[in-house]
Structure 1
Amino acid sequence: MTVNAVGDRLRKPVSAAPRASSRNPLYLVGSLALGLGVWFVVAGLYGPEVFASPGDTLAAAVDLARSGELWLATQASAGRILAGWSLGVLLGAPIGLLMGRIQLIGRLLDPYVQFFRFVPPISFVTLAVVWLGIGEASKIVLIVYTSVFIVAINTLAGVVAINENQLRAAATLGASRRQLLHAVVLPAVVPYIFTGARLAMGNSFLTIVSAEMVAANTGLGALIWQSRNFGRIDWIFVGIIVLGVLGFLFDRIVLWIGRRALMRFGVKG
């Protein structure tokens, strides 16, 4: 029996929570209608100077799109998020694997991981600008910082959760470290990596908005901050909605990639 065969036998597919075979679109329509209704009521109570109505927000979105400002801001924020998040995942996953599999590395890095994961990225905005300038590098580095610890900790949790009996069973058949990694470790850890990646994506949006408000001339965060200075509440609403839609789309993409990666390793997602 080959090591790969052993890996196939040792791996038990992990099924996600049951999904409905079909979803009634009426629920979505009803939810959107309810949300718009509440939005109209609140906007009517407080007025456009405090709470923009759906109509005002739509008109502002059209104006910003026609001027090109909305597209420029969205492109800037999306590019920074994707660049920083990707680097954070590429760094965080190997760090978590090494910490979990090599005791010395785990003991050396754990104090730093535990310390910096409690220091919010926004606290480094000023230093990032001083060290790297107001350009793209400072924002991307902040998102890398946001992502790397989340992914590393989730990956480490996946390594720790591996059944040692599975590792010993494969080792008794003569599996090398590399074979153990591919046959047992990665299939068990990949779900944790993608969970960390999704969490990191959400936190990346928090970071980029904060960073752009303080140290950027373009981006959705900068658009929201500049709108405040001009008293354009409707522009602020546009920026918030675009952030939500962009975040939803990015999350769906990460989820789609994650499910295919899980299938590659024989894990049902």
Structure 2
Amino acid sequence: MVYLLKGTMQNYIWGGSDYIPELLQIEKKEEYYAEWWLGAHSSSPSDLILNDTIIPLNNYIKEKPGVLGEYSINKFGTELPYLLKILDVKKPLSIQLHPTKEQAELGFKQENELGISLSDPKRIYKDSNHKPEMMVALSDFWLLHGFKTKDKIAKSLEKHPSLSPLALRLKQCDLLTFYAEIMRATQQQLEKWLLPIIQQQKAAYEQNQLSLVNPDYWVLYSIESMEISLTKLDPGLICFYLFNIVNVNKGEGIYQDAGIPHAYLRGQNIELMACSDNVIRGG
């Protein structure tokens, strides 16, 4: 049997305003259209339209789990095992990673026992599922995907005199310690590292002379698009020198497994993932 589903919209402020409404041919009523979900996740289930009756998909599956099919039930249980999304990324997202299935089950159980509401912004685990995700670009798409090797990070940092002390520090410690120190940096430290680069590259950026594979471009782009004050710099800006900057052409795909830090920067894509909304922020 074929079912008619109506997806749900997520109006996060990093989203664009036109792409998803035009794609779905719907009337624009909001300022931002970031994600369109098609699935049965409890936080935003699609509606199933059946004989002029509208039923949340997750409720329908609970009532009639057999619609999932014997194979899916035997392998994944009585929940729809996937979630499909369409994203329009206008402004860079936060650096994030997703947990393994075991981490998600433990974290979800612990936060439930602590009585943390699912709507609490401090809540990390919204469900007990992992969230491996495959994306296919619907446009020219840019993202950060995993750490570069220590040697490549050092070379990237050494290109700027203001970042050379970081390159030296990296050679003295492991990557985890190094990253944690950057995330805890003071404004004074961030200004010392980043302001010389911003001042040096500002004119080139404004004249579109910086390559998109150049970390300097994304530092200036993030400051502009996210309206970051030069007196309140974000430590995440340093990550453009630490992570792989990846360009995914339209029609190409990339996979993000558990534990891989990443951040979408710009473009539109379609994602297929495990049915989860677990996001661990990394900067």
TM-score range, shorter chain: under 0.3
Q: TM-score, normalised by structure 2?
A: 0.23
Instruction: Say which one has the larger Rg.
Output: 1
Q: Comparing both structures, which one devotes a greater share of its residues to helix?
A: 1
Give the TM-score of the pair, scaled to structure 1: 0.23
Between structures 1 and 2, the one with greater strand share: 2
